Structure 1
Amino acid sequence: MTVDAPVPAPGSGVTFVMPVLNERDYLERAVQTVLQQDVDGPAELILALGPSSDGTTELAGRLAAADPRIRLVENPQADIPVALNLAIRAARHPTIVRVDAHSELAPGYTRRALATLERARAANVGGVMRADGRTPFQRAVAIAYNSPAGLGGGAYHVGAPEGPAESAYLGVMRREVLEEVGLFDESIRRGEDWELNLRIRRAGYRVWFDPQLAVTYWPRESWARLARQFVATGTWRGELVRRFGRLNSLRFFAPPALVAAVVASLVIAVLQVTGLVSGVASAVLSVVHLPIALYILGVLGFSVVAGRSLQERAWLALVLPTMHLSWGAGFLVGLVRGAKDTIDTSRLDRNTPLP
């Protein structure tokens, strides 16, 4: 049975909540796009500040001193779900707009989202994450993010018709529903949005996708950070599969299958090179190399077609396998032993220069 989410009185206002950790290069622009949103009623932005080491906290203080709509809360644990819950509990308004310091809201985003929430009587509405980049490496990552070849074709990455959704990117949410289902699960450090939306849907409420909503997202700035991010994300997805099993989409199992295929191909290659397997047996076992060869050709072909410059194409040829294999390896670790205390270390230090 589907339950209509409550609709607050007109002009009751919105609270934007933003977890922040080492975002000096992105925070000011992200905050600007939030404060420029056209909202019917009062609005506030709550920055949940983790223990940054790059001057982000000082920058946040200056921004808050310059605009009374900005409020600060401390998040010494640094975890995203903890930050979100701290900000939501401090919120003054009945609609919560989750935003990210590594993203920028399009003009009209909030007004459109509020209208969609009311029209669909949904508890949570999200749109499209449009990745972009400032360097050839970051643009290559953005191309991968925006394509089914990179992240498997989720609606908020590549678009889909408007309608009910499994989850929502960032999300514009009714606070009353969030409090009813228990806010974010603070034991889940990655994938916390998917798990929250699962509880929202289990409570009978709608989670809604609106392709007219757009958020610009800036990916990680270096190969090492990207790899660390995807290992952590994959590890937590493995944990979510341990917890929720078949409720996870089948597309989440493609990267670990690729990792298994690569390992099998490498083992057979070693056996063949050392002569431990030869003749007919070697010929038969060579079949395991075919999927990897096709994958390599697919990556190279996609890189040539999708990249807009030689640098972007070269980075794409590295970025795609990095995303797939890092995520897949992390998934297998999380599936076998659980995520435990895994964190996304790519967020901890952004003081190194861009590639």
Structure 2
Amino acid sequence: MPVRNEEKHLRAAVQRVLDQHYEGDLEILLAVAPSTDLTREIAEGLADEDSRVVVLDNPAGVTPAGLNVAIAAARHPVIVRVDGHGELSPGYIGRAVALLEETGAANVGGLMDAQGTTPLSEAIAAGYNSPLGLGGGGFHLAETPAGPADTVFLGVFRADVLREIGGFDESLHRAQDWELNYRLRRAGHLVYFSPDLQVVYRPRDSVSALARQFYRTGQWRREVIRRHPDTASLRYLAPPLTVVGTGGGLVLGLLGLVLRSRVLTAALIAPAVYVAFVGAATASLGQLRPAARLRMPLVLTIMHLAWGAGFIHGRPTGA
């Protein structure tokens, strides 16, 4: 479990692992990055309470480096990846180990069940769980059937295969899980999705954190495509095209109003279409409290435009 600034969720995430009651031997490796909250203190407290919890240092501070630190220290033939703000469903580990044996897969994983606790985080969770928000990746949708997959959420790995392909790419600060599964498949290994494996994911609970997250995710997705051009798809091009279309249409349309040019003013159709799409998407999402639905247009707009702007910008300078 790579953790950084996770004081709010870390104890619950670790407790969900301990509550698995897995019949085999179990260790929980917390790769702790430099944090500005009480993450380190909480992690050390958990280790004092239970000898199965081990605290490791991740001085690099990024997720793939923390994962590799933990993988290097792991003693067992199966490695279960867990997030500091994720909670495993009951029986997750036992079912995952059984699936590794049944399918022969190198990695099995399941559904990211995003759940919010406030109106804003509920709206963000709904965006994660909808193809109209995050984009419809298989492990975000409950109706995705079991079977071979391009990637899965988190993952339960055969340790020997994970080490054989070199672990996670530490130069990818985001999308490193997708890229790892890409290398597994290229090496002839099976990546398997099962909706039986569910993890409750606690999304960000602020507008600024959501915008930073999606901007950076867009940046690193473009970097993955740069390295592996065969992974490009129209789904990844939709957000940057939306940014160009709505931004360009707005600028040209406003210029048209100033210059009294009907041709240029007609460009306002592009942002108007996007606003209508966001409104229709918000209306189509069911089972949302009124306060969460009220925040949904803002959440969807940030998801689309921040991701698209990050994709246009590309890899962060110095990364």
TM-score of the pair, normalised by structure 1: 0.86
Secondary structure (helix, strand or coil) at the match of 1:151 reads coil
Tell me how far 1:302 sits from its aligned partner. 2.7
Q: Distance in 1 between matches of 2:26 and 2:36?
A: 29
Tell me how far 1:305 sits from its aligned partner. 4.1
Corresponding residue for 1:293? 272
**Structure 2 gap ranges (5+):** none
Corresponding residue for 2:249? 265
Q: Distance in 1 between matches of 2:214 and 2:318?
A: 16
Corresponding residue for 1:327? 307
Q: Deviations over 1:142-198 (max 9, x none)?
A: 011011011111100013111111111100001110111110011110000011111
Matched, 1:75 2:52: no
Q: Distance in 2 between matches of 1:212 and 1:295?
A: 36
Q: Deviations over 1:36-75 (max 9, x none)?
A: 1132310000000011121110011110001000001101
Tell me how far 1:248 sits from its aligned partner. 3.0
Q: Distance in 2 between matches of 1:153 and 1:135?
A: 23
Tell me how far 1:291 sits from its aligned partner. 4.0
The aligned amino acid for 1:322 is I
Q: Is the 8 A contact 2:250 2:271 kept in 1?
A: no
Q: Distance in 2 between matches of 1:208 and 1:305?
A: 30
Corresponding residue for 1:339? 316
Shift of the 119–249 alpha-carbon distance from structure 1 to 2, 3 Å rule, reads: farther
Matched, 1:117 2:100: yes
The aligned amino acid for 2:316 is A
Tell me how far 1:262 sits from its aligned partner. 1.2
Corresponding residue for 2:11? 28
Corresponding residue for 1:107? 90
Q: Deviations over 1:248-307 (max 9, x none)?
A: 3331111111001112202221321221x625x34xx72x43343232122123323426
Matched, 1:309 2:292: no
Q: Distance in 1 between matches of 2:138 and 2:63?
A: 23
Larger mean CA deviation between 31-40 and 187-196 belongs to: 31-40
Q: Identify the match of residue 178 of structure 1 among 140, 150, 162.
A: 162
- Matching of residues 128-143 of structure 1 within 5 Å: 128-143=111-126
Corresponding residue for 1:156? 139
Q: Distance in 2 between matches of 1:296 and 1:119?
A: 47
Secondary structure (helix, strand or coil) at the match of 1:189 reads coil
Q: Distance in 1 between matches of 2:318 and 2:44?
A: 30
TM-score of the pair, normalised by structure 2: 0.96
Tell me how far 1:310 sits from its aligned partner. 2.5
Secondary structure (helix, strand or coil) at the match of 1:150 reads coil
Q: Is the 8 A contact 2:246 2:274 kept in 1?
A: no
Q: Deviations over 1:203-229 (max 9, x none)?
A: 100011111110000000100000011
Q: Is the 8 A contact 2:247 2:271 kept in 1?
A: no
Larger mean CA deviation between 230-239 and 294-303 belongs to: 294-303
**Structure 1 gap ranges (5+):** 1-17, 343-355
- Matching of residues 215-230 of structure 1 within 5 Å: 215-230=199-214
Larger mean CA deviation between 304-313 and 212-221 belongs to: 304-313
Q: Distance in 1 between matches of 2:20 and 2:129?
A: 25
Larger mean CA deviation between 307-316 and 224-233 belongs to: 307-316
- Matching of residues 183-198 of structure 1 within 5 Å: 183-198=167-182
Q: Identify the match of residue 249 of structure 1 among 213, 223, 233.
A: 233
Q: Is the 8 A contact 1:239 1:339 kept in 2?
A: no
Q: What is the total number of aligned residue pairs between the two structures?
A: 317
Secondary structure (helix, strand or coil) at the match of 2:173 reads coil
Q: Deviations over 1:9-35 (max 9, x none)?
A: xxxxxxxxx001011110000000011
Q: Distance in 2 between matches of 1:167 and 1:47?
A: 23
Q: Distance in 1 between matches of 2:27 and 2:213?
A: 30
- Matching of residues 276-287 of structure 1 within 5 Å: 278-279=261-262, 281-282=263-264, 286=266
Secondary structure (helix, strand or coil) at the match of 1:149 reads coil
The aligned amino acid for 1:257 is L
The aligned amino acid for 2:301 is P
Corresponding residue for 2:37? 54
Cα RMSD over matched residues?
Answer: 1.4
Secondary structure (helix, strand or coil) at the match of 2:133 reads helix
